[in-house]
Every structure is written in C-alpha cells, then in structure tokens.
Amino acid sequence: MSERTSHSKQERTHGRGHGHGHGDRSFLPALGHHRSVRLYDAFGLLIGAPWVYAAAAKAARLDGAGPAVVVDVGCGSGQLLRRVGREHPEARLVGVDPDERILAIARRAALRSRDVAVRTARWEVGYAEDLPLADGSVDRVLSSLMFHHLEPLGRTAMLSEVRRVLRPGGELVLADFDGSPGRLPAVGPLRNLPMAVFTPGEVPQLLADGGFTVVDQQRVRLVIGGVSVWRAAPA
C-alpha cells in the first residue's frame, strides 16, 4: 500500500515499502517493483489468489443488499472488484490504490468487462490511511492480501479510516495471511517476497484494538501460506 517518507521508523504510517510515491508518501508497487506490475495477475494465479477473491466476495454478503457501495482498499489490478461486479451487477464499485500504473491496468480490464457494475467502477488513487471517501458512504470495505504490507501505525490508521467511511450496518472483509502453513514451503524466490506474515490470532486482536468485532472467519490455503478471510463489524 503506502507509507509516508520519514526519518525514523516510529514516524512511518504504513507501506508496502519504499521508493515510489506521490508527494511525501511512498509505497511498494505490486511484487516489489514497477517492472513487476504487469506480472501481478499471473503471480496471483500461480499462488491461488483467485480462491481468496472468491471467499472474500462471498464473505461480503451482498445478496439482496441492493445497490451497495463496495470499496476495495489496495485493489491492485481490480480482480476482486471484478468478481464482485460479476456476481452483484447492482453494486457500485470503488477501487483504491496508491499505484497509478496498476490502476491503469484495472481501468482497462474493467472497460473490457461485460458487467455494467465493473465497467462503471471508480478507480481512485489513494492510501489506506486517508481514504478518498466521505464519512458514512460505504456499505462494504474489502481488502485482500494487502494488510500485511502495512507497518503497525498504518494498520491502526487504516482501521480508523474504515470505521469512518462505513455506514451504519456496514462491514469490513479483510483477507490476509494468518500464520498457518501453505500448500508448499516458501523456497527460492518466494522467500524474498515483501511479505510479513501475521502470527495466528494476531489479526483478530488488531481488529479488536481497532474497534471491530469479528463475526466470521473462513480459511483458504494458498501455495505459499494460509489465508483467513475475516468479516468484521464496528463494535
């Protein structure tokens, strides 16, 4: 996601890494470098990310929700939102990511879609700590395989922002590595991924500290690690 440029670790808010950004903020692009952005979807397919997107879309519980506003924080190339749009054509979709290059990929893919909800989606340059959304304007906030990139202060800031933008009755669906093993050991290049895996139970505690109550948890086992999909509501 993103991180403010600062002179000390304590001052940093959050980030996928260093070196790229807008103004005083920097972020690590998909797979660690701008050269890798176009490989993002292929890599996701390799590790089994579509299983996570399917589980997250299901956890959003949008059946019968009408024209719900659904936001994906750290949307990347937009795969999760495209799935939501296919399954829920009445949804109003918003993708937020700090990387303009990957948002351009998301926009192009959306325009090729047959699904109206996807073609009309909004794609916004923005950061998890400062979402470009009005207070109480969102029914569901989704975020998949991004939260682990944030530094501790950034995680706190993101959860605060999610609480701000959610409408009464709104929910957060957060999918990320949970510390459980994957289908294969992390060897070779997989060891060098910009990924800090959470320990078991860490994310539910972070959600509780951020003012959320976990109401459901599903698990998906990827090639490189186990993932949980948490559905949480403001406490």
How does DSSP assign 188-211, residue by residue? GGGGGSS--PPPTTHHHHHHHHTT
* Residue 65 structure tokens: 């929700």
Extents of the domains making up the chain: 3-234
Query: What pLDDT sits at residue 200?
Result: 86
Domain 3-234 adopts which CATH fold?
Rossmann fold (3.40.50)
- Rounded to whole angstroms, the Cα distance separating 65 from 134 reads 20
- Rounded to whole angstroms, the Cα distance separating 124 from 94 reads 7
Sequence-distant (≥ 6) Cβ neighbours of residue 8 within 8 angstroms = none
- Rounded to whole angstroms, the Cα distance separating 160 from 225 reads 27
Query: What pLDDT sits at residue 17?
Result: 33
Tens-digit pLDDT profile for the chain (235 aa)? Answer: 333 323 333 333 333 332 344 445 655 555 444 455 566 666 666 677 899 999 999 999 998 878 999 999 999 999 999 999 999 999 999 999 999 999 999 999 999 999 999 999 999 999 999 999 999 999 999 999 999 989 999 999 999 999 999 999 999 999 999 887 666 665 555 555 544 578 889 999 999 999 999 999 999 988 778 899 999 999 9
Tell me which amino acid residue 4 is.
R
- Rounded to whole angstroms, the Cα distance separating 87 from 68 reads 13
Query: What pLDDT sits at residue 77?
Result: 94
Sequence-distant (≥ 6) Cβ neighbours of residue 201 within 8 angstroms = none
In 3D space, the residue among 89, 140, 121, 109 whose CA is nearest the CA of residue 40 turns out to be 109
Number of other CB atoms surrounding residue 170 within 10 Å? 20
- Rounded to whole angstroms, the Cα distance separating 235 from 229 reads 18
- Rounded to two decimals, the pTM is 0.81
Cα torsion 32, 33, 39, 45 to 10°: value is: 10
Contact 87, 116 (CB under 8 A): no
In 3D space, the residue among 145, 147, 167 whose CA is nearest the CA of residue 158 turns out to be 147
Sequence-distant (≥ 6) Cβ neighbours of residue 152 within 8 angstroms = none
- Rounded to whole angstroms, the Cα distance separating 133 from 90 reads 20
- Rounded to whole angstroms, the Cα distance separating 159 from 93 reads 20
